[in-house]
A = this chain, B = another copy of it.
Amino acid sequence: MKNKDGLLVVFSGPSGVGKDSLLQRLLEVNPQISLSISATTRAPRGAEQHGKDYYFLTKEKFQEIIKQDGMLEHAVYCDNYYGTPRQPVEEGIRQGRDVILEIEVQGGAQVRQKNPASVSIFVLPPSMRVLSQRLHKRGTDSEEVIQKRLAKAREEIQKAEQYDYVVINDDLEECVQEICEILSAEKKKASRSGKLIEEVLNNE
């Protein structure tokens, strides 16, 4: 006897905090989880595949979906639309899957507002110092870019309290376990258990 719908999970954190490694490991340990695929109007790059890396849409199609309230959130960067199509997310949830949206703080706010039943998790670094070390270690960015990322991280972390939960990615496995516990606990929320309570009462 379980609540059958999955969860809509908003997942955010600053650049360099390790969101991709966390999600990869989460998918390995918890087969009930899916990642949401974003839609964009920009052209595919390299080996990017439609329906795997992104849904690649025309501007007209994207705007039509927005009009029909078919995007959970969307934004425009450099003249291109980016967004989260509602339909595949809601389908996954109805099938009992927990669908994770890896998303920026601003998009996260849109999703949370439109979906009060969503669960939002913000990933913190152990400290700004460690985040700076991680960004330097990656060796992919110039010092100027790293400083910009750190400034942005600081802004985002200041909004972490708007989220439902805050986890620290110090030890990856520990952090993955904490996220699993959060998803598990959320399914026991009384606000999601109305049907269950009825079933218990009616089964005499």
Residue of B nearest to A193 (CB): B166
User: What's the minimum C-beta distance from A98 to chain B, rounded to whole angstroms?
Assistant: 14
Cβ of A15 within 8 Å of any chain B Cβ, yes or no, is: no
Residue of B with least CB distance to A189 = B165
Question: Count of chain A residues with Cβ under 8 Å from any Cβ of B?
Answer: 42
Chain B residues within 8 Å of A164, by CB: 189-190
Q: How many Å lie between the Cα of A199 and that of B124 in the bound state?
A: 11
The main secondary structure of chain A at its interface with chain B is helix
Copies of this chain present? 2
A107 at the interface (CB under 8 A from B): no
Residues of B within 8 A of A129 (CB): 203-204
The chain B residue sitting closest to A3, CB to CB, is B166
| Min CB gap A46→B, angstroms | 35
A197 touches B166 (CB 8 A): yes
What mask results when residues 102 to 133 of chain A are scored 1 for a CB within 8 Å of chain B, else 0? 00000000000000000000101111110010
One of B126, B188, B199 near A167 (C-beta < 8 A): B188
Residues in B with CB closer than 8 Å to A193 are 160-161, 166
A90 CB–B CB distance under 8 Å: no
| A171-204 contact mask (Cβ, 8 Å, vs B): 1 or 0 | 0000000100110111011110110110111111
Q: Give residues in A with beta carbon < 8 Å to B.
A: 1, 122, 124-129, 132, 154, 157-158, 160-168, 170, 178, 181-182, 184-186, 188-191, 193-194, 196-197, 199-204
11 A-B Cβ contacts within 8 A?
A124-B200, A154-B201, A158-B201, A160-B190, A161-B190, A164-B189, A165-B188, A166-B196, A178-B184, A181-B181, A181-B184
